[in-house]
Structure 1
Amino acid sequence: AELARDAARRAAVAGYRARESRPVEGRGLWVRPIETSPEQIRASLDRIDAAGFNMVFLETVWGGYTIYPSPVAERAGMPAQRPEMRGFDPLKVWVAEAHARGIELHAWTHTFFVGVESGGGPVLTAHPEWAAVEREDVGKAGPQPSRMEPGYYWMDAAVPAVRAHVLATFEEILRGYDVDGLHLDYIRYPVSLPYGADFSYSAYSRQTFAAEHGVDPYTLTPESPQWPTWNAWREKQVTTFVDQVRTMQERVAGDRQLSAAVFADPTDGLAKKFQNWGAWVDAGTLDFLTGMSFGTSAGSVGHDTAVMRERVGDVPLYTATYGPLRGSSPDLMLDQVQAVNDANSDGAALFAYNQLNARQQEALREGTFRTPATVPHADYRAAARSGAAALRETLRQATA
């Protein structure tokens, strides 16, 4: 039985090694840090490095907390740091140790989503007036969670104090830490279909829209002549905030990257969540995108990648796949990475480290990620040289 198991494993590894391993591509991994000591962080990064990843999206702001000690949070009346991480600065260790291994470290941040903790967690406990309000919850006391994204609490993207606080947090990260970039997640409204479950009808949004357009949006329906104006107004709140982040990033840390996790279908993202990432691409606001493909097959993620590739043009695109989260077989996970590559993505990003099992790690290490790779967006000239050198070597071997 042991010999049979060993033979099966060796056959699987041989199959992994037959797969293409590209010399120029992004190999991203989302990581929710649960490590509470430098030693644990080093152990996690050793594992990530061994699997062949060259980019980490480290969850730096989530659930209404920062993983590092934050004066901005403290000034806003919130806890300065996640309680389980007090006593040291995890972000500083993650950055230093990732760079020591040649891995990019991007600060993954929840933008307007503040968690699932009852009442909206530390942010909405301190500032209930910042809450995004669902149409069906108008008039209710206190922050309420989304119906379409059950249990999720959100801030209203239009409220000036919300925008100022989030922007200050992002600037704090870029000024205080040598991260390679800022990675925006939940850069949108909550899911706002069907009618009745749409956002946000906070007092500020209603009053401001009424002052600009002469009607309280709460009185509108999808059949109202001004409904498209209300939709465009909400989309504008997100897009102008991305513009603000870009302006701040260029002023504070012009050498860093600004990226966003977006929904694969640009039409769906705009219609349901007012996330017009196509406009961000057109304006050159982002340095690269990670498009989220939730498909369970290689064909579905390949299709999503092709749709995104056509829309983004030459902007670097790394398609997010969910093999680790879904517990996919190693072969299916590699098939999805290959499908992403075949559809002209610049690489794949896997969700997430916390669910990456030993068999999947082995498949990446022995297969698609077995040779070192240059991240395309980091240095286009170096990436081109690496790609050309690899092509020359392949041709030499083929003609020897």
Structure 2
Amino acid sequence: MKRFLILLVLLLLTVGLMAIEFDGAAIMKMAINLNTKINDSGRVIPDTIEIPGTDRSVSMEEALYLIAKWMAIYGANGEKIGQLPESVPYIEVKAPQKQLQGEIGGMINWPDIYEVSKQITAKLEADPLIPSQVEFLLNGESMAVMTPDILLYVLTRSVNWVNDNGSMPNYASLREVSGPSNWPPVEKATSEVIEKIPGSEGEIRAVWAWSTDFISYGVDRAVNELKEAGFTDVFLLVKGTAGQVSWPSAIAYEKISDTTILEKTVAACREVGLRIHAWFVVNQDQAYLKRFPESKMWGVPIEEGADPQKAGSTVDFVQDTRYREYLIDLMKEVILLYDVDGIHLDYIRYPTGAWGWGPYNIGRAWLEGLDVDFLMETAKETWSSVGDNKKFIDLYRQFIYFDINRWVEMRMDDIRAFVEEIKAGIESVKPEIIYSASLMPEGGDIDAASNGFAMVHYGQRYADFGELCDIVIPMTYHLDFGEKANWVADVATGTRDVMKSDTKVVMGIQAYDLSPAELQKAIYYARGAGADGIMFFRFGTLFGNENLKNAMLEALK
């Protein structure tokens, strides 16, 4: 009888353990907290994480199951907007015995995040040992594998996106992380050999720098180290999204606290022989919009019957001639006061296809005879809360509706006209000024589908920039765009194909949230494709990370 009672108690305890469930909202919050911890630690996964609202902490193997199960339940309907789980079951899970290297770079699309979540939870429910690799569909095209630690990071970022946006992200990029201390290190299948490609004679070596980067690092120290490393150009942010400028302007609406930074940087660059470019954010200016809120850009209504969206930072630069004049006057002031070598345009574009739907733009379309009701309905079917993010783009690519293609062409013409207007203004002060622009990279992609995506969203016709600018810089931050490093070469090739022969093509290189090897690969792919130079975003993340800095120095030797 005593033995029977003991067995019964053990059985009840086992059943009770198996029946443990956690509140779905608590698991969602746990995933968000874990994502924050990973990001704040330089992408190192901790050993444990607390489940909010409980006195329980779980290991990373248990967290992987809980978050994957949350995602599998959320995506059970197969839709981008899923159903938030009310509860998530718990099971005991064992750490992987080994991790075998899989994909780094590339991306997993949102339907495939659902699928891999369902597969890994089913596998763990059958055998609670985390496997050494997890199979998934890479870029929506071919089967591949990733390590469990990368999967955990993908899932935490995806849950975080759901929390912020109410739906799944279009994709998650595969980024390298360091696993918890009780997980085995990743075993590399083979030693990766990176072919070093030296820079050509006259290679442009540039860096984007925030004012705060130079303020905290020290202007003289920063500029001297850049010179020693072989850099040729500095692009200093002098007006950002906030609209605050970094010099004692007589016309700017707001200034940063230290308005000596531009003057000091110009002097330091002159001392060592570096070119200095004044970097302006073009389409965003919060300081300006505080004074002229009516100039905020209009967007497609989110819900049926709702008012159009109004932007928080983006100016309706097409309609507002006052803003365009103000921006050009700021540029002229910088040239006259500091005789900078160049003016650099950033955000010289529409934010996405969902923006730029104000009365002025719609009125122009109506005057041209376009079917504005059809355009707006198609836009809502693409970018409203129930939109598919595809329809407008697909119709543009198919070239079957004149109204769609003309609307996109009008937006391209808007961007070209603004670039021309700025060029005329700054060259009236300094004819030999170096004129450059950073561009969204999809517009230079050799893939026609990516190019069409860029035209609909941004209006940046690469051929226009090649005609008007001295330097164009596609921002090929490959991991951020869910691509591998060889994508840098593809965009460099596509960009060069549509540029004038004397327009310099400089590739924007990601210098944050990546490994030293990925940084070097991006540099070498740019060089191998015949780019005229490389440009790093940004100084603070590059020179503030010794491993990245040393990898960069090795590549520049």
TM-score by length of 2: 0.54
Equivalent residues in 2 for 1:327-342, closer than 5 Å: 327-329=514-516, 331-342=517-528
Equivalent-residue separation in structure 2 for 1:19 and 1:217 (angstroms): 51
- RMSD (Å), alpha carbons: 2.8
- Tell me the residue number matched to 1:94: 265
- Tell me the residue number matched to 1:382: none
Q: Which amino acid is 1:251 matched to?
A: S
Pairing 1:249–2:426 present: yes
Equivalent residues in 2 for 1:371-390, closer than 5 Å: none
Contact 2:198 2:527 in 1 (8 A): no
Shift of 1:252: 1.2
Equivalent-residue separation in structure 2 for 1:234 and 1:122 (angstroms): 25
Deviations 1:103-154 (A, max 9, x none): 111111100023xxxxxx3221111111111011697599434xxxxxxx21
Shift of 1:225: 5.1
Larger radius of gyration: 2
Moved more, 102-111 or 306-315: 306-315
Shift of 1:355: 0.4
Contact 2:351 2:458 in 1 (8 A): yes
Equivalent-residue separation in structure 2 for 1:44 and 1:16 (angstroms): 29
- Percent same amino acid at aligned positions? 20
Contact 1:38 1:90 in 2 (8 A): no
User: Which of the numbers 462, 474, 486 marks the counterpart of 1:291?
Assistant: 474
User: Which of the numbers 306, 317, 322 marks the counterpart of 1:157?
Assistant: 317
Equivalent-residue separation in structure 2 for 1:304 and 1:188 (angstroms): 18
Contact 1:258 1:288 in 2 (8 A): yes
Contact 1:265 1:307 in 2 (8 A): no
- In structure 2, relative to structure 1, the CA distance for the partners of 1:172 and 1:157 (3 Å cut) is same
- In structure 2, relative to structure 1, the CA distance for the partners of 1:349 and 1:36 (3 Å cut) is closer
Equivalent residues in 2 for 1:201-350, closer than 5 Å: 201-210=357-366, 212-213=367-368, 217=372, 220=375, 221-222=377-378, 226-266=403-443, 267=451, 268-281=453-466, 284-296=467-479, 297-314=484-501, 315-322=503-510, 324-329=511-516, 331-350=517-536
Deviations 1:364-383 (A, max 9, x none): 33x3323xxxxxxxxxxxxx
Shift of 1:215: 6.2
Q: Which amino acid is 1:48 matched to?
A: L
Equivalent-residue separation in structure 1 for 2:436 and 2:538 (angstroms): 18
Equivalent-residue separation in structure 1 for 2:529 and 2:341 (angstroms): 26
Equivalent-residue separation in structure 1 for 2:272 and 2:523 (angstroms): 23
Secondary structure at the counterpart of residue 189 of structure 1 = coil
1 or 2, which has the higher helix percentage?
1
Q: Which amino acid is 2:227 matched to?
A: D
Shift of 1:325: 1.4
Contact 1:201 1:217 in 2 (8 A): no
Q: Which amino acid is 1:203 matched to?
A: P
Contact 2:232 2:275 in 1 (8 A): yes
Shift of 1:216: 8.1
Moved more, 286-295 or 179-188: 286-295
Equivalent-residue separation in structure 1 for 2:373 and 2:463 (angstroms): 28
Deviations 1:219-271 (A, max 9, x none): 63448753333222222211101111111222211111101101233223322
Equivalent-residue separation in structure 2 for 1:265 and 1:164 (angstroms): 29
- Tell me the residue number matched to 1:71: 250
- Tell me the residue number matched to 1:144: 311
- In structure 2, relative to structure 1, the CA distance for the partners of 1:325 and 1:154 (3 Å cut) is same
Q: Which amino acid is 1:93 matched to?
A: K
- Tell me the residue number matched to 1:172: 333
Greater relative CO (CA pairs within 8 A, separation 6+):
1
Q: Structure 2: 5+ residue runs without aligned partners? A: 1-192, 379-394, 396-400, 444-450
Number of matched pairs:
324
Secondary structure at the counterpart of residue 270 of structure 1 = helix
Moved more, 212-221 or 26-35: 212-221
Shift of 1:289: 0.7
Shift of 1:303: 1.8
Q: Which amino acid is 1:317 matched to?
A: V
Shift of 1:313: 4.5
TM-score by length of 1: 0.73
Deviations 1:198-221 (A, max 9, x none): 2212233334444x3256846634
Secondary structure at the counterpart of residue 129 of structure 1 = helix
- Tell me the residue number matched to 1:131: 296
Pairing 1:61–2:239 present: yes
Q: Structure 1: 5+ residue runs without aligned partners? A: 1-14, 115-120, 146-152, 193-197, 371-400
Contact 2:238 2:246 in 1 (8 A): yes
Shift of 1:184: 0.5
